[in-house]
Structures are given as structure tokens and as C-alpha cells.
Structure 1
Amino acid sequence: MKLRNILIVVKDIEKSKKFYHDLFGLDMLLDNDGNMILTEGLVLQDEAIWKKFLGKDVKYQNNATELYFEERNIEEFAEKLERLYPDIKYVNRLMTHSWGQKVIRFYDLDGNLIEVGTPMSDKI
């Protein structure tokens, strides 16, 4: 068995596609009219389709999951985030953990939690 994708629900798929491209360089691989596969295995699912499929309301900003990205030049990333999305909601701005990893945590346009940190693979 192999994990293929991570799916997140979004209110405006075009705005979310732009957000993930602007900040992380993710590009669209496939657009199935409300279900969009991006590079790196991220799938954007239109809220209306997801609600209909589940028969339940979507609970945004639930803090139960996190998308994790690594970036060597995290200071430059933090500046780009502030410049492109100045109204973004932060969990924490750029900080350094006791083990030396620098991280920034924030919510995407729909309240999906994102963490960007300096690579941990250097420490493993």
C-alpha cells in the first residue's frame, strides 16, 4: 500500500491554487472540476462537493492536522509570506525551537494549518 495524496477542503479552489503556487511553488497536475491535484501530492477539494459527498458541514481551523513543508531559507520565506499575504493568521511567527529548528506556523485561506520549518533531514 502507498499513500498517494493529502486532500484539503477549500472554499475557493482558484484562490487556493494561487496561494499554494505563490508560497510553495506547487503547480496543478489535474483539474477534475472541483478536485484539483497539485504537485507534491496535495489535492484541493471544493467545499460544496465535499459537503455533498459527506452529507456534513466542513469544520475549518480544527487544529487536528497540519501540512508540513521544509525550507532552507526560512527568513526569505517568512518575508514572502508577509509581503504576499499580509492578512494571514499566524499561530506563531518565525521562531527557533530548543533543538535548533526554525519554524513558522499559520493558517491558509481556509483555516488549514501549515508549518514551514528548516530541514530536519539534516538532523536525522
Structure 2
Amino acid sequence: MKLKNVLITVSNIEESKKFYHDLFGLDVILDTDGNIILTEGLVLQDINIWKEALNGDVIMQNNASELYFEETNIENFVDNLKQKYPNIKFVNELTTFNWGQKMVRFYDLDGNLIEVRTPM
């Protein structure tokens, strides 16, 4: 068995598609009505489709999971994030651990938790 994708729900597909392209360079592989598969295996799904599939509400910003990325030039990434999305909500501002690795955590436009670290 092989994990193929990770799906997150979003309230505005077009804004989220732009967000993940602007910050992470993810491009659209497949765009169907309310579902977009991006490079690296991330799937954006319209929140209403997910609500219908669950037959219930979706709880955003639940901190039960996160998307994890690595970036060698994390300072430039954080500057770009703040410039393009000045209202982004940070969980942890840019932090340097005592072993030298750097990390930042924030929420995407819909409250999906994202962590970016420098490689070990």
C-alpha cells in the first residue's frame, strides 16, 4: 500500500490554490469541480463537498494535524509569507533551536496548520 495524497478542506479553492503556489511553488496537476490535486500530493477540496461527504460540519483550525515542509532559506520564506499574506496567523514565529534547526508554524487561509523547518 502507498499513501498517495493528503487532503485538506478549504473555503475558497482559487485563493488556496494561489496561496500554496505563491509560498510553496505547488502547481495544479488536476482540477475537477471542487477538488484540486497539487504537486507533492496535496489535495484541496471545497469545504462544502467535505461537509456533504461527512453529512456534518467541518471543524477548522483544530490543531489535530499539520502540513510539514522543509526550506533551506527559511528567513526569505518568512519574509515572503509576511509580505504576500500580512494577516497570516502565526503559532510560532521563526525560532532557532539549540541544535541549529529553524522552524516557523502558522495557519493557512482556512486554519490548516503548517510547519516549515530547515533540513537537518
- Normalising by the residue count of structure 2, what TM-score does the alignment of the two structures yield? 0.98
Query: Which amino acid in the other structure matches residue 58 of structure 2?
Result: V
**2:69 partner SS:** strand
Structure 1 residue ranges without an equivalent (≥5): none
Please give the alpha-carbon distance, in whole angstroms, between the structure 1 residues aligned to 2:119 and 2:33.
Answer: 35
- What's the counterpart of residue 65 of structure 2? 65
Aligned-pair CA distance for 1:99: 2.6
- What's the counterpart of residue 13 of structure 1? 13
Aligned-pair CA distance for 1:97: 1.8
Query: Which amino acid in the other structure matches residue 8 of structure 1?
Result: I
Is 1:44 the equivalent of 2:44? yes
Aligned-pair CA distance for 1:98: 2.7
Structure 1 residue ranges, 4+ long, deviating more than 3 angstroms after superposition: none
Please give the alpha-carbon distance, in whole angstroms, between the structure 1 residues aligned to 2:42 and 2:29.
Answer: 10
Query: Which amino acid in the other structure matches residue 43 of structure 1?
Result: V
Is 1:27 the equivalent of 2:27? yes
Query: Which amino acid in the other structure matches residue 12 of structure 1?
Result: N
- Normalising by the residue count of structure 1, what TM-score does the alignment of the two structures yield? 0.95
Is 1:100 the equivalent of 2:100? yes
**1:14 partner SS:** helix
Structure 2 residue ranges without an equivalent (≥5): none
Please give the alpha-carbon distance, in whole angstroms, between the structure 2 residues aligned to 1:43 and 1:6.
Answer: 6
Please give the alpha-carbon distance, in whole angstroms, between the structure 2 residues aligned to 1:74 and 1:21.
Answer: 16
Number of paired residues? 120
Aligned-pair CA distance for 1:112: 0.1
Aligned-pair CA distance for 1:8: 0.2
**2:68 partner SS:** strand
Please give the alpha-carbon distance, in whole angstroms, between the structure 2 residues aligned to 1:75 and 1:50.
Answer: 35
Aligned residues: percent identity?
Answer: 70
Please give the alpha-carbon distance, in whole angstroms, between the structure 2 residues aligned to 1:15 and 1:62.
Answer: 21
